[in-house]
Chains A and B, each alone.
Chain A
Amino acid sequence: MNGVDAASVLYGLEAINANNGWAISVVGITIVFTGLVALSVLISQIHKLVALYDNPGKIKKLFVSRSESVARAGTPKAHLDLTEAQKQVCRQYNLLAQTMDDVISLPKLLRMAELSGLNDPHANMNLLIKSGILCADEQGYFRWDEDIFIRTIS
């Protein structure tokens, strides 16, 4: 038999035993099953990836820290270029604000503006907030930012 001693050739279970066949098959089965389990876990989570794809807001939510969201909630401080008429409005509201305490109640300021006959009090109040002249504190009241006011009207 091509130089091989026929007596040394093993078949069946003897051959498996002699060549670590059992160990090899156990390792093979383990690898295959581990792969299948990993694949099934991956597939079971695909709906979450699809949900993230459908709703990118969730991704943002994962990465936006609380501190960033608090900062985002703050009144914008960007310097706005106002027209001369808008600057005049700011000066009028400054006079009203001076009659109030350090902390300003926005509804009260709005009411005073209405009673004083100022034009478009709601829109102008919004202008003051957007410009950062009126900024919210954490107690539900607002403060008149003198620095921004001076910078804005100058």
Chain B
Amino acid sequence: MDSSAACLSESIIFNGLDARDIDSLVPLFSRWTVMPGEILAQAGHCAQFFFLVEEGALLVALEAGRAVVLNRPGDFAGLSMVSLKGTNTATITVLEKGVVWVVPCLNILDLIGHDSPVAATIMDGWQQFYAEKAPFCSDPAETGVV
């Protein structure tokens, strides 16, 4: 199992998928090494990527000065936590040098847009992750779909 598959398997969002589904997701992800201070996404800009943490820490700055720190392998800066209708709603900044797996927003949105067991599993995981990491936000089922 390569490190992207391992990272996906470690994520609450994706670990409900079976090995075959995870293998099919792996090609969608690219590995980035990130440095402290690097801005991965800027609020108000067009949403391009979601980020899966393998190592390091990301600060997700939300509206009203709120923030979420993603620092566990498998934490996912994506979907409605960071974007809505194709626009970033949060600024994602790197706090600690590390490695993130980057996936184009459209690929994930396309995947969960279909009525399939994979989409249902991802959304279940997402709701669990969202409730844990950002309980102050409402409507975790909102995906940020255009």
Contacts and interface: CB of A to CB of B under 8 A. Distances in A.
A125 B68 CA distance: 13
Interface stretch (A12-20, A35-43, A49-57, A77-85): A49-57
Contacts of A125: 59, 95
Contacts of B142: none
Main DSSP-derived SS at the A contact region: helix
Main DSSP-derived SS at the B contact region: mixed
B15 A107 contact: no
B110 interface: no
Interface residues of A, number: 29
Nearest to B10: A57
Given A61-B16, A106-B69, A129-B69, A123 B36 contact: yes
B105 interface: no
A39 to B, nearest CB: 24
Given A51-B18, A61-B15, A140 B66 contact: yes
Interface of B: 9-10, 12, 15-19, 22, 36-37, 57, 59, 61-62, 64-69, 71-72, 91, 93-97, 128, 132-137
